[in-house]
Amino acid sequence: MSPKRLFCETEPCLEQPLEKRRPRLTFASIIGDVVMVNSQNHLLKALEPLLRRVVNEEVDRCLLRYSRLLPRASSLRIQALEPSSFLLYFVNNLPSTIFTGSKITDVESQPLRIAVEAGADNPAFQVYSAMKIEIVVLDGDFASGDKQDWTAEEFNASIVKERSGKRPLLHGEMNITLRDRAATIGDIEFTDNSSWIRSRKFRLGARIVDGSDSDKNRPRIREAITEPFVVKDHRGELYKKHYPPMLHDEVWRLEKIGKEGVFHKKLSNYNIKTVQEFLKLFTIDPQKLRRILGVGMSERMWKATVKHAQTCELGNKVYMFRAHNVLLILNPICEVVRAMIDDQIYSSQDLHNIPPEYLMNLSRQAFDNWHSLQDFEGNFREPPLITQEDLYDSCHQRP
**Which pLDDT band holds residue 144 (cuts at 50, 70, 90)?**
confident
- Tell me the average pLDDT across 99-125: 79
Let me know whether 162 and 219 are in one domain.
yes
Torsion-angle region of 215 (φ positive above 0: left; ψ -120 to 50: alpha; else: beta)? beta
Greater pLDDT, 8 or 314: 314
Instruction: Note the pLDDT of residue 75.
Output: 42
231 plus 276 within the same structural domain: no
> Does a structural domain hold residue 44?
no
Number of C-beta neighbours around residue 138 at 10 A: 22
Could you please report the per-residue DSSP string of 98-130? EETTS----TTSPPPEEEEEE-TT-TT----S-
Q: In this prediction, what percent of the chain has a pLDDT beyond 90?
A: 51
Residue 97 class from Cβ within 10 Å (0-12 exposed, 13-18 middle, 19+ buried)?
Answer: middle
Final residue belonging to a domain, choices 235, 268, 294: 235
Look up the pTM and report it: 0.46
Q: What is the mean pLDDT of residues 212-218?
A: 58
Residue 120 has pLDDT above 60, yes or no: no
pLDDT tens for each residue of 350-366: 999 999 999 999 999 99
The C-alpha atoms of residue 252 and residue 263 are separated, in whole angstroms, by 8
Asked if 138 and 204 touch (Cβ cutoff 8 Å), the reply is yes
- Residue 96: is its pLDDT beyond 50? yes
Please tell me the distance from the alpha carbon of residue 190 to that of residue 171, in angstroms, as a whole number.
6
Residue 281 has pLDDT above 60, yes or no: yes
Which comes out higher in pLDDT, residue 230 or 117? 230
Are residues 381 and 273 located together in one domain of the fold?
A: no
Read off the pLDDT of residues 5-16 as tens digits, 9 standing for 90 and up.
444 444 444 444
Same domain for 202 and 258? Answer: no
Q: Are residues 98 and 205 in the same domain?
A: yes
Structure confidence at residue 393 as a pLDDT band (50, 70, 90):
low
Residue 117 domain-assigned? yes
Question: What confidence tier does 234 reach under pLDDT thresholds 50, 70, 90?
Answer: confident
Q: Is 337 helix (H, G, I), strand (E, B) or coil?
A: strand
Range of lowest pLDDT (33-37, 93-97, 209-213, 336-340): 33-37
Domain assignment of residue 302, given as a range = 241-309
pLDDT score at 377: 80
How high is the pLDDT of residue 361? 96
Looking at the structure of the chain, the number of domains it has is 3
Last residue of a domain, one of 262, 293, 309: 309
What is the model's pLDDT at position 143?
A: 86
Task: Render 139-196 in DSSP notation, one character per residue.
Answer: ETTTT-TT-----HHHHHHTBPPPPTTS--SEEE--EEEEBTTEEE--SEEESS-STT
Cα(192)–Cα(313) distance, integer angstroms: 33
- Tens digit of each residue's pLDDT (9 = 90 or more) over 43-91: 666 667 666 766 666 666 666 555 545 444 444 433 443 455 688 999 9
Question: Do the bridges between strand 86-90 and strand 221-222 make them parallel or antiparallel, or are there none, so unpaired?
Answer: parallel
